[in-house]
Structure 1
Amino acid sequence: MSVSRETERLAAYAGLLRKWNPAINLIAPSTIAQIEARHIADSLHLAEIAETAEDNWVDLGSGGGLPGIVVAIMRPDLDLTLVESDRRKAAFLRNALRELALPRAKVLCNRIETLDRLDAANISARALAPLPQLMAYVERHLSPSGTAWLMKGRNWQAEVSQARDDWKFDLKTHQSATDPDAAILEITGIRHA
């Protein structure tokens, strides 16, 4: 796929977020003007960091599709599953996948904790839950050799410290491309402490 086709799809996706957001609140209304510069740029950074990821990818708590839809656009070779329990947001995601012609991506409208184990090679999450809680979701659905790609805000270091009370894991951090205090956590080897 050419870069221009990816750019076209990203622009179309931004348009869908703007169109649907007033009705469903997919992203904070105060950040609408920053869709490309913040939301999509963050997700593009994740796709770039995870460029060698293989097999399947699960995006937990997809909401408006960040980072899941952006990963699907940039990595059409991956089988991608977007997990979102809110029916209206799941409907948005299904519509977006159809309009953006992303046939290898699908939506599961379920609660993360009630889903059968997904055994994902890669899991992403953004603005879903504090890391100690998020680790239980990730551990439930990540294959033993898999990688979690977790987008965390300014409190990421405190969250990592708290998560280590109950979990052991290998961690590689990547500074956010849009916020010097935020990070993408690349986590492997997850096990109970």
Structure 2
Amino acid sequence: MVETEAEARAWLNERHGDAVNRLEVLVGALRDENEKQNLVSRPSLDGVWQRHIVDSAQLLHVSRGTIPPGAWLDLGSGAGFPGLVIAALEPQRPVTLVDSRRLRTEWLARAAALMGLSNVEVMLSRVEDLADRQWQVISARAFAPLDRLLDVAARFSTPETLWLLPKGAKAQHELDALGAEWNRVFHVEQSLTDPAAGIILGHLHGRAETMRVGKAAKRKRGSGR
């Protein structure tokens, strides 16, 4: 468990030492911008490396190193967590940050430029209005309840897409409440930065009813009827 700023910095230096300078730029810019708009709570800035930076960076490790290569979609990016941190840690990976608030997207674009990141695309849009496209990884931190998130974002996913969803203390509850509507292989992993928090991760295969209809159609075609 990473519980202090010193432990957070040590964790990052051990695993992502080459990205620490970029993250220093992000932290400095975040402190300045937070005076102009409320990106994160003021108290959380006292533990920014633990509560925001490592809390985001852990997504690259929580799935035991099985993060698929390719484009990453971060929904409701807000202050840039986890999207900007992921982009800083993996500057060769295309990362798309989506937010519906203009001030937030302007901040995200400025921060990416200050960090020297050329792999970031910032989109001002409601998720519902995004064009259909598939991504290899989808993340969302405190964006929407799980059932609502899947309703609006499942179309961006394939069965190979990895979902990484920091959900705080309600992670298991949200997963249990999802019921049988979705055909998925999801589970909850313990957060590295908060003993009460969990991260939902796994793969989505579509709505259960759609899957049943598709299988029935295949059986019908196979019978020659």
The question of a shared fold, defined as TM-score above 0.5 by the shorter chain, is answered with yes
TM-score range, shorter chain: over 0.9
Largest Rg, 1 or 2: 2
Query: Which of 95, 114, 132 is the matching residue for 1:117?
Result: 132
Give CA deviations for 1:18-48 in whole Å, capped at 9, x if unaligned.
Answer: 1111222111223121211111111111123
Q: Is 1:145 equivalent to 2:128 in the alignment?
A: no
Cα distance, 1:24–1:140 mapped onto 2, change above 3 Å: farther
Q: How far apart are 1:66 and its partner, in Å? A: 0.1
The Cα offsets for residues 44-72 of structure 1, whole Å up to 9 and x where unpaired, read as 11123365321100000000110000100
Cα pair 1:173 1:185 within 8 Å, conserved:
yes
Residue of structure 1 equivalent to 2:80: 65
SS across alignment from 1:143: coil
Q: Secondary structure at the match of 1:186?
A: strand
Equivalent pairs, count = 192
Q: Structure 1 residue 16: deviation in Å?
A: 1.1
Specify whether residues 14 and 191 from structure 1 end up closer, same or farther in structure 2 by C-alpha distance, changes over 3 A only.
same
Range with greater deviation from structure 2 (134-143 or 58-67): 134-143
Percent identity over the alignment is: 33
Q: CA RMSD in A?
A: 1.7
| The structure with more strand, counted as a fraction of residues | 1
SS of the residue corresponding to residue 83 of structure 1 reads strand
- Displacement of 1:172 after TM fit? 3.2
Counterpart-to-counterpart distance in 1, 2:201 and 2:191 = 12
Point out where structure 2 has 5 or more consecutive residues left out of the alignment: 1-14, 209-225
TM-score (ref. length: structure 1): 0.93
Aligned partner letter, 1:27:
V
Alignment of 1:98-137 (within 5 A): 98-137=113-152
Give the TM-score normalised by structure 2.
Answer: 0.80
Displaced runs of 4 or more, over 6 A: none
* Matching residue of 2:100: 85
| Alpha-carbon distance in 2 for matches of 1:95, 1:149 | 25
Farther-moved stretch of structure 1 (158-167 vs 97-106)? 158-167
Q: Does 1:184 align with 2:199?
A: yes
CA contact (8 A) 2:141 2:167 kept: yes
